[in-house]
A and B are shown apart, each in its own frame.
Chain A
Amino acid sequence: MIDLQNVNLTLGGRPVLRDISLTLTQRRIAIVGSNGSGKSSFARLLNGLHLPTDGQVLVDGLNSRSHGRKIRKNVGFVFQNPDNQIVFPIVEEDVAFGLKHLGLSADEREAKVVDILKRYDLIGLRHQPSHTLSGGQKQLLAISGVLVMDPRYVVFDEPTTLLDLRNKLKVKQAIASLGQTAIVVTHDLDLVADFDRVIVFEDGRVFADDEPNKALRRYLEAMQDA
């Protein structure tokens, strides 16, 4: 469970999030909202990349202020642009990157890497330079690099924004098949139609928090009125 208690976040002297209190327990949670509404900053609070200015963020009872490293291990984060997340030049090396510090043997690391590459149909590309992959393959590689660490939660920050329809569907399927809790920040309302919960952010506050039909209807109405 991720619990946010009276969270305020100020970045560069500008208030970005105001008085956020939420408990995240559902398996599929979407975060939507217009540009600048604070949703990406909210996502970064969940794995300790941002620390709240006031209030606290608890992940399974651990406070992000004092347990940042442990929280980042339990909360994987997939960025919008996979090019900024892939840090090794070769596909299999990038997937293995995070495993180095887990104290696993070389054989155990290899088995985990092969398993995850098979799952996302990247095994044939394991020796390829990562910069030669297509946009969709890069995003699946970025997801593999996160999931190989077996996080309990995975936060996606606009994972389909840069993708064409075919790759968008692949990423959608990858998210749907996750065993973990997925929290997805997105502008893609089709992606989240069958989620358990949709939280709409507007101007740094929670504007709606409901099942997809109701929350998205309120969001669309607000956008049409604006």
Chain B
Amino acid sequence: MLDLYQAGTSPIHMLRPGWKILSLAIAGSALFAVDHILFSAGLLVTTLVLYHLAGLPLSRAWAQIRPALWVFGLIFVAQIIFNDWLIGLYAVVRLAVLLMLAGLLTLTTKSSDMIDGITEGLGPLRRIGVNPDRVSLAISLTLRFIPVLSHVVQDVREAQRARGLDRNILSLAIPTIVRTIRMAEEVSDAIDARGS
């Protein structure tokens, strides 16, 4: 679900990140505010056209929603039980469109440009004490360290499995937390050392 930037020169790539983020916010809100299946279906088609315009194969759109299929299944089944299948389909389409649009944003926007856009967008909040640079850095660190932390968990899991502790949740959690805190200290030093 966390797909990263695909270099390109399409009109979607060239659009300013601020506009893309704003469009995503408006489309996401409209998806849930406009209570009509045709609107959601129309937005689904528009989203697929935008992928095409961005020079991305439709398989990339599918890749955005594939990890969430089990969530879609749960929602669909719950809606069949409590409402009917059409409302279930409606809910799933809305969520799928939202995920694909969010994926399109990350696929066509460099994370540094996106972060610059967020920094610019948060500028007015300086007046109430929010530091946009810090918020932006936190977002970039989150994007960067998701795969790193996933490796840490994998390492610890393998080490504990080798010791026969694979069923013990504490044996996974404690070393992972300790390693993460140590890593956070060094990352903080590194950011200082790099003069930012």
| A interface with B by C-beta (< 8 Å) | 44, 47, 49, 69, 72-73, 76-77, 79, 81, 83-90, 93, 96-98, 100-101, 127, 129-131, 145-146, 149
Q: Is B191 part of the contact surface with A, judged by Cβ < 8 Å?
A: yes
Q: Quick one: closest A residue to B5, CB to CB?
A: A90
A89 contacts B144, C-beta separation under 8 Å: yes
B-side contacts of A93, CB under 8 Å:
110-112
| B interface with A by C-beta (< 8 Å) | 4-5, 7, 110-112, 137, 140-141, 143-144, 147-148, 151, 183, 186-187, 189-196
Q: Quick one: closest A residue to B193, CB to CB?
A: A77
B-side contacts of A129, CB under 8 Å:
4, 147
Q: Quick one: closest A residue to B152, CB to CB?
A: A83
Alpha-carbon separation in the docked complex, A73 to B194 (Å): 7
Choose from A84, A98, A131 the contact partner of B195 (Cβ within 8 Å): A98
Chain B residues touching A, majority SS: helix
Given contacts A84-B186, A90-B4, A127-B7, contact A145 B112 (CB under 8 A): no
A-side contacts of B112, CB under 8 Å:
88, 90, 93, 96
Choose from A44, A130, A145, A146 the contact partner of B144 (Cβ within 8 Å): A130
Q: Quick one: closest B residue to A76, CB to CB?
A: B193
B110 contacts A72, C-beta separation under 8 Å: no
B186 contacts A81, C-beta separation under 8 Å: yes
Alpha-carbon separation in the docked complex, A134 to B141 (Å): 20
Alpha-carbon separation in the docked complex, A81 to B182 (Å): 12
